[in-house]
Amino acid sequence: MLWKKATLLGLAGFVIGAAIVICLVLLDSQPLQGAFAHIVIGGIYGAVAMGSSVVYGIEKWSIARATATHFLLVFALYFLLVISMGWFSLSDPVFWIVVGAMVAVYILIWLLQYLSYRRQIREMNDELIKWKSGNS
């Protein structure tokens, strides 16, 4: 079931990633013919980013573990793609700005999920207390 969901999310991510690159190419007034490799790479990046989001559904894993795993997968692919495609180099400040933004986004994802789960647990505990007091 997990692989099926990852595959479906990955396919959707491929379409979204490719579409984003197409929009960027068109906004830059570049011909699509020369951008085929970039479109495919954008699709692959989107597929991995969305497909690997299934780690958040692994109930045995903590939020921190799922977030760290997803970050490492997405970051490793980002690193490989942008360096191999020549989009950035390690000395390029934009590369490090994007890395910093990715880290900030993942910290925000973890924080929002943590707060959401904490609220859900508090609500369940309140319901349990109401249920126990009604049955006594």
**Average pLDDT for 49-75:** 91
Q: Residue type at 11?
A: L
pTM for this structure?
0.73
Q: Report the alpha-carbon distance of residue 29 to residue 51 in Å, rounded.
A: 31
Looking at the predicted structure, is the pLDDT value of residue 136 above 70?
no
pLDDT band (50, 70, 90) for residue 30: confident
Say what the pLDDT of residue 37 is.
85
Looking at the predicted structure, is the pLDDT value of residue 104 above 70?
yes
Looking at the predicted structure, is the pLDDT value of residue 32 above 80?
no
Say what the pLDDT of residue 8 is.
94
Looking at the predicted structure, is the pLDDT value of residue 29 above 90?
no
**% of the chain residues with pLDDT over 90:** 55
The first and second tokens of residue 15, run together, are 């379409």
DSSP 8-state assignment for residue 61: S
Which residue's entry shows tokens 């890395």?
A: 99
